[in-house]
Structure 1
Amino acid sequence: MHHSGRTFAVDLNGHSCSCHAWDLNGIPCLHACAAISWFHGNPEDFCDAVYKKEAYLRAYQPMIMPMTSQDQWMKVNLPPLLPPKYHKQPGRPKKTRKQAVEEPKLPSNPYKLPRYGIPLKCANCGGEGHNRSSCKDY
């Protein structure tokens, strides 16, 4: 089969395709469906047996009875369940908490202005694009 400039080999008897999607999940990929429809077949006949209605009914054949309400449960003479005990993790505690990805980043010093967007200006000659240490007029 040709799809998006690539060629895929489909084996209908072996239930496999060279894109390996059919091999992985047991459901025919679009290349396999095209090959099946070319031979006037039904793609549902080529699906793995676990996806069919009979397998679903076989899995749920023994009736699962709903649970009764909590006040009708059997009383057991065991102590009540407690949460696990707190265990302090080794290592130094973090100074700041971890921020979420969508949370805006706060500057480390709120009183300092950012440098981006402002052109460099030389304190020696007043020209733009360089500073005093790289000035040619000094």
Structure 2
Amino acid sequence: MSFWNETNGFPLSPPECVKQAGRPKKLRRKGIGEVIKRKGKHVLSKKGDQRCGICGWTNHNKRSCPQNPTKGGQVHQGRHQRLEEKQANERRRSKAGRTPT
């Protein structure tokens, strides 16, 4: 039993091309003389070179600036340094809590 009415026309078939998922590719490729714009975080803005936010020099950034008030421009402590500090604090607390015998 068929739900569709039969017709006298030619039989239909599915389309030959299947549309691919995602954004389609560009219609043409750029030539040798054309400029290709880079995308991403490494592209400099129209202002020019990147500069340090503290002193304004172009050869380093705010994180590695020698005038940075943190230890020589180092912002983050390593895991090993944090563990050593934590253990030293625990030793101090345990010594302070003891009573001399």
Question: Under a length normalisation based on structure 1, what TM-score does the superposition of the two structures give?
Answer: 0.25
Between structures 1 and 2, the one with greater strand share: 1
* TM-score (norm: length of structure 2): 0.31
